[in-house]
Amino acid sequence: MAWESRRRKRYYYAKRRRGGHVESHYIGAGEAAEVISTLEALYREQRTAEQQQWRREQQSHRAADAEIDRLGDGIRLLVATALLAAGYHTHKGQWRSRYEQHQATYSAEGPETTP
């Protein structure tokens, strides 16, 4: 929105870009245009404040997400350490017990029998 002076009078115009050029639309002159201009300025200020608030919230969310990621990394490390200590290994991203452990468990318990 812009004020333009023509023949010693001020007129209020709305400017919009369409395609590759700018179009001007007459809004008004005098007190009515002053009121419209003031309302639009208030609207722009409110929108700017809302955008700043949204940016602050997004920054807060990013900080929380980073903290959650750090905690998740620590938990994954703790679980991996516990599984490795228990004799497990990873195969194609899955935790599996070693073949020798299966053999030792099977031979110690004996074959399963059902009464």
Beta bridge partners, 12, equal: 3, 28
Output the average pLDDT for the chain. 84
Quick: pLDDT tens for 42-94. Answer: 999 999 999 999 999 999 999 999 999 999 999 999 999 999 888 888 888 88
* Within-domain flag for 113: no
DSSP 62: H
Alpha-carbon distance of 114 to 98, in angstroms, equals: 27
Output the CA–CA distances (angstroms, integers) from residue 31 to 7, 43, 46, 56, 108, in the order listed.
18, 18, 23, 38, 97
Number of domains in the chain: 1
Q: Which domain holds residue 60?
A: 2-88
Query: So what's the pLDDT on residue 102?
Result: 59
* Within-domain flag for 61: yes
| Residue 113 predicted with pLDDT over 90 | no
